Amino acid sequence: MNHFEKLYSQHKQKIVHDKSYEKSDNITFKPEINNKYQLNNRNLADVDIGEYLYSKHEIIKKNKEDHIKQLERETKEKLNTTKVNSTSINLFEQLKLKRFGQIFRLLDSDNHNEISAE
C-alpha cells in the first residue's frame, strides 16, 4: 500500500465516522444566544431605543464609578491598618524602656536613683 492509498483510506474512515456522528442521537448542544427573560423585559417603558441604550449606559457608568469608589475606600482602609508582629512589639518596648531611662536620668539630678523635688 503506497502513501496515497493510505491517505485515501484514512479519508474514507473519517467520512464514515463523520456520517455516523451525524446520525447519532447524542447531539445535545443547543446554543443559547440571548437570555429570553432579558429580551422580554427590555424596554418596558416603550421609549426610543436610543434613549433606552443611553439610560443603560448611564446606569453602567454609575455602577463603575461606585465600584471604583468602593475599591478606593478598601485600599485606604488597608493602608491605614497597622501591621504589627511580635518582633515590632519587642522593638517598640525596648525603645520605650530606653527613652524612659533617658528621661529618668535627666530628672535624677543627684544620681540617687530617686526623683527629688529639687
Per DSSP, 109 falls in state T
Residue 20, sorted as left (phi over 0), alpha (psi -120 to 50) or beta, turns out to be: alpha
Q: Say if residues 100 and 106 touch (Cβ distance below 8 Å).
A: no
Tell me the pLDDT tens digit for each residue of 30-84. 766 666 666 566 666 777 878 888 888 999 999 999 999 999 999 999 888 877 8
d(CA 72, CA 56) in angstroms, rounded, equals 24
Asked if the model's pLDDT at residue 25 lies above 60, the reply is no
Rounded to an integer, what distance in angstroms lies between the CA atom of residue 8 and that of residue 66? 63
Mean pLDDT of 18-29: 58
